[in-house]
Amino acid sequence: MKEKVTAIVTWLRKQVALSHTKGLVVGVSGGLDSAVVAFLIKKAFPNQSISVIMPIKSNPVDMAHAKQVNEACGIKEMTIDLTSIHEAMFSRICKELNEDINDDNRRLADANLRARLRMSTLYTVATNYNYLVVGTDNKAEWYTGYFTKYGDGGVDLLPLIDLTKEEVRKMAEFLGVPKEVIEKEPSADLWEGQTDEIEMGTTYDMIDAYLNGHPIPIEHENIIKTMHKRTEHKRNIPTPFYFTE
Ligand SMILES: Nc1ncnc2c1ncn2[C@@H]1O[C@H](COP(=O)(O)OP(=O)(O)OC[C@H]2O[C@@H]([n+]3cccc(C(=O)O)c3)[C@H](O)[C@@H]2O)[C@@H](O)[C@H]1O
Ligand SMILES: Nc1ncnc2c1ncn2[C@@H]1O[C@H](COP(=O)(O)OP(=O)(O)OP(=O)(O)O)[C@@H](O)[C@H]1O
Ligand SMILES: [Mg+2]
């Protein structure tokens, strides 16, 4: 695990040098993936790394875990509460949509706006310090497209992209991430009671096994393949039109 940590830290430093920027910023949620990224960017840039905690009607336990993570790795911390901003923006948009409002999609639209407000906040902080924005997506989330396009997927670097969820957990143990964070259930915290595995209809263990080339039950394989296919657009640049077409 030490070699993997060193490889990522070296790569992070190289990306900052290549981009002529000065450091790195990440949003820390109290979950596993962002905890690992916070530890890694603090290792790469002890004095030029920032963790931003951005509650939006968030569970106080998660926010306490986020603080615990920052304290454990000693990274510079900022808290920017986006609850009232999210409420104002979402209600203004819904007011305009009026009778067109689609109740089935309302929760998802509300949730994706949270992820995109966090992205905008991170880029505002990044611009101020001349830093890059670091994403937290792991191999399982990236493959299944389980992220918000231009939300938590709107980042400059993806250091965990080649690690399964289990490998992220092992790295967290190696780095000294608090055990409450390592043991909790993965959640996007985009609505009350949300857990990744309930929403996806499969588990990270299944996705990890599939990505490692191991056989899994056909119903899980089908869910994973469908998610991958439907989210292809998220892993590509916007579809361009050329007059030469
Ligand atoms: N074929 C296509 N080509 C080009 N663009 C296409 C498209 N199909 C949809 N789109 C566009 O993409 C949009 C749908 O994508 P998107 O906005 O991402 O939304 P969507 O994939 O529907 O929702 C995001 C999912 O990621 C989950 N999530 C989000 C954030 C964090 C985490 C976490 O684990 O922490 C998980 C969330 O719970 C939800 O299940 C559509 O509104 C449309 O604009
Ligand atoms: N309240 C928050 N404050 C700051 N950043 C957040 C917050 N909620 C979500 N994020 C950002 O969105 C990312 C995506 O969330 P995701 O749930 O996939 O990761 P995680 O919470 O770090 O780990 P886990 O998947 O185990 O819950 C987070 O890693 C973090 O960068
Ligand atoms: Mg989470």
* Residue 226 is assigned to a structural domain of this protein: yes
Q: Is 201 known to sit in a ligand binding site?
A: no
* Residue 241 is assigned to a structural domain of this protein: no
* Residue 203 is assigned to a structural domain of this protein: yes
Range of the domain at 38: 2-235
Q: Whose CA is nearest to atom 38 of ligand 1?
A: 188
CA-nearest of 123, 134, 153 to 16 is 134
Q: Whose CA is nearest to atom 21 of ligand 2?
A: 31
Split into its structural domains, the chain has a count of 1
pLDDT one digit per residue (tens) for the chain, 245 residues: 999 999 999 999 999 999 999 999 999 999 999 999 999 999 999 999 999 999 999 999 999 999 999 999 999 999 999 999 999 999 999 999 988 888 889 999 999 999 999 999 999 999 999 999 999 999 999 999 999 999 999 999 999 999 999 999 999 999 999 999 999 988 888 777 888 899 899 999 999 999 999 999 999 999 999 999 999 999 999 999 999 98
* Residue 152 is assigned to a structural domain of this protein: yes
CATH number at residue 203: 3.40.50.620
* Residue 32 is assigned to a structural domain of this protein: yes
* Residue 245 is assigned to a structural domain of this protein: no
77 beta partners:
51
In the structure, which protein residues have their CB atom closer than 6 angstroms to any atom of ligand 2? 26-29, 31-34, 52-55, 58, 118, 136, 152, 186-189, 196
Complex confidence, ipTM: 0.97
Q: Whose CA is nearest to atom 43 of ligand 1?
A: 149
CA-nearest of 208, 185, 211 to 197 is 185
DSSP 8-state class, residue 99:
G
